[in-house]
C-alpha cells in the first residue's frame, strides 16, 4: 500500500511539474501568445486613454483560452476571481492557481524524496497551497470591515447632499471624490459606471457584490426599494446610519468580551510550534524522533487534526453574528 501511494504521489508531482512548465512556456515564451498579449495590452492602453476615470482594477486583463474555459465551467474559478476582485489584488485567478500548484508540488516532491509520511506531506502541501487564498480572504475581510466602519459617515454625507438639492447620482459621485479608499474608490466606480450608461440598479448591486458587507447590503436593498416605491430618502439614510452605528458599537463590545477566547486560540494554536522550535534548538536529537520515525509522524498527523478541530470550535464559540 505504501509503495502504491509513493508511486501515485510521484506521478502526481511529475505531472504537475510538467503542466507548470508547459504553462510557463505558453504564457512567457510562445511567440503567438506573446504577440496576442501585446495586442491586448495595446487595446487596454487605448481603453485607459479614452476612459481615464475608470479604475484599472475594473479593466479586463489579458486572458487565455484556458481561463475562459475555466470561467465557463468552474464555479470555484469564478469564486477565486471574485475573491481577488474584493481583495483588490494584482493577481489573476490563473496566476493564483499556478502559485498554489507550485507550492503543492514543491512540498510533495520534497516529502517524497525525503521519504516522509505521505499523509503528513499531503496535509502540509495542502495547507501551504491554500495560504495565498487565506491571505486574500483576510485582505478582503479587512477591506470590507474598513468599508463598513466608514459607511454610516458616508450615509450622513449623502443625506446632507440630498438636502442641499443634489441628486443621488451626484451625491454618490461626491462621495467618490471626497472620501478615501475603500469608500471613495468603490463609490467612484459606481459613479463612473452610471455615467457610462450602466443602469443604477446594476451598478449599485455590483457594489454590494464587490464588498460583501451586511451593512452595505442593507443600504443597497433600501436604495433599490426606495428607487421603486419612492419616499423620503434622507430619512431612510438617517435611520440606516443610526442603526449601523449601533451595530458597530455592539460588535466592538462583543469583540472586547470575546478577546479572552481569541487570545486562548492564538496561544493554544502557536504553543506546539513554539515548543517544537525550542526543543529543536535545545536538543535536536531528542525532538527529531518525532518526524524521523513512523510513530512520530503518525502523532504529528493526529496532533494537527486535533489542533485544527480545536481552533475551529474556538472560532465558532467566539464568533457572534450581529
Residue ranges per structural domain of the chain: 2-51+63-129, 142-257, 259-318
- pLDDT of 215 > 60? The answer is yes
Q: Give pLDDT, residue 42.
A: 46
Residue 12's pLDDT is what? 66
Among 234-238, 259-263, 292-296, 308-312, top mean pLDDT goes to 234-238
CA 65/CA 74 separation, integer angstroms: 14
All cell numbers assigned to 106: 514543491
pLDDT at res. 311: 80
Residue 174 is predicted with a pLDDT of 92
pLDDT value of residue 45: 44
pLDDT of residue 50: 42
Q: List Cβ<8 Å contacts ≥24 apart for 59-67.
A: 61/92, 62/36, 62/37, 63/92, 63/94, 64/26, 64/27, 64/33, 64/94, 66/94, 67/92, 67/93, 67/94
List of long-range contacts for 165-170, beta carbons under 8 Å, 24+ apart: 168/200, 168/223, 168/233, 169/194, 169/200
The reported pLDDT for the residue numbered 97 is 86
Architecture of domain 142-257: Up-down Bundle (1.20)
Identify which of 76, 213, 195 has the alpha carbon closest to the alpha carbon of residue 133. Answer: 76
User: Between residues 160 and 266, which one has the greater pLDDT?
Assistant: 160
Q: Judge whether residue 119 has pLDDT over 70.
A: yes
Predicted confidence (pLDDT) per residue in 18-64, tens digit: 766 666 666 555 555 555 555 555 444 444 444 444 444 443 444 56
- Mean pLDDT on 230-242: 86
Considering the chain, what is the average pLDDT of its residues? 79
pLDDT per residue over 146-173, tens digit each?
888 889 999 999 999 989 888 888 999 9
- Please tell me the predicted confidence (pLDDT) of residue 27: 58
pLDDT of residue 56: 40
Residue 90 has pLDDT above 60, yes or no: yes
* Residue 157, pLDDT score: 92
Maximum alpha-carbon separation in the chain: 77
Q: Which is more confident, 49 or 313?
A: 313
pLDDT reading at 244 higher than 60: yes
Go through the chain and tell me how many residues it has. 322
Alpha-carbon distance 62 to 175, whole Å? 31
Asked whether 103 and 125 are in contact (CB, 8 A), the reply is yes
Per-residue confidence (pLDDT) for residue 88, from 0 to 100: 85
Percent of the chain with pLDDT over 90: 5
Amino acid at each position: 500500500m505504501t509503495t502504491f501511494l509513493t508511486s501515485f504521489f510521484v506521478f502526481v508531482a511529475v505531472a504537475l511539474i510538467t503542466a507548470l512548465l508547459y504553462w510557463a512556456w505558453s504564457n512567457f515564451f510562445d511567440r503567438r501568445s506573446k504577440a496576442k498579449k501585446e495586442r491586448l495590452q495595446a487595446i487596454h492602453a487605448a481603453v485607459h486613454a479614452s476612459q481615464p476615470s475608470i479604475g484599472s482594477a475594473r479593466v479586463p486583463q489579458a486572458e487565455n483560452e484556458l481561463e475562459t474555459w475555466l470561467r465557463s465551467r468552474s464555479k470555484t474559478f469564478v469564486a477565486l476571481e471574485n475573491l481577488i476582485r474584493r481583495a483588490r489584488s494584482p493577481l489573476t485567478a490563473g496566476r493564483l492557481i499556478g502559485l498554489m500548484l507550485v507550492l503543492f508540488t514543491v512540498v510533495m516532491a520534497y516529502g517524497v524524496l525525503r521519504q516522509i509520511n505521505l499523509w503528513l506531506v499531503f496535509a502540509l502541501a495542502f495547507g501551504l497551497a491554500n495560504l495565498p487564498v487565506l491571505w486574500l480572504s483576510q485582505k478582503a475581510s479587512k477591506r470590507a470591515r474598513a468599508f463598513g466602519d466608514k459607511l454610516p459617515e458616508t450615509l450622513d454625507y449623502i443625506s446632507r447632499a440630498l438636502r442641499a438639492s443634489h441628486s443621488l447620482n451626484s451625491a454618490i459621485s461626491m462621495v467618490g471624490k471626497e472620501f478615501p479608499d475603500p469608500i471613495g474608490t468603490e463609490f467612484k466606480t459606481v459613479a463612473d459606471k452610471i455615467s457610462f450608461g450602466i443602469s443604477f440598479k446594476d451598478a449599485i448591486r455590483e457594489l454590494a457584490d464587490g464588498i460583501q458587507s451586511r451593512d452595505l447590503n442593507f443600504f443597497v436593498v433600501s436604495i433599490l426599494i426606495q428607487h421603486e416605491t419612492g419616499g423620503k430618502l434622507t430619512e431612510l439614510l438617517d435611520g440606516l446610519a443610526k442603526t449601523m452605528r449601533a451595530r458597530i458599537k455592539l460588535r466592538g463590545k462583543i469583540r472586547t468580551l470575546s478577546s479572552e477566547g481569541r487570545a486562548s486560540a492564538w496561544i493554544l494554536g502557536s504553543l506546539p510550534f513554539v515548543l517544537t522550535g525550542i526543543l529543536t534548538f535545545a536538543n535536536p536529537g531528542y525532538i527529531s524522533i518525532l518526524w524521523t520515525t513512523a510513530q512520530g509522524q503518525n502523532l504529528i498527523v493526529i496532533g494537527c487534526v486535533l489542533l485544527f478541530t480545536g481552533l475551529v470550535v474556538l472560532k465558532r464559540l467566539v464568533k457572534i453574528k450581529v
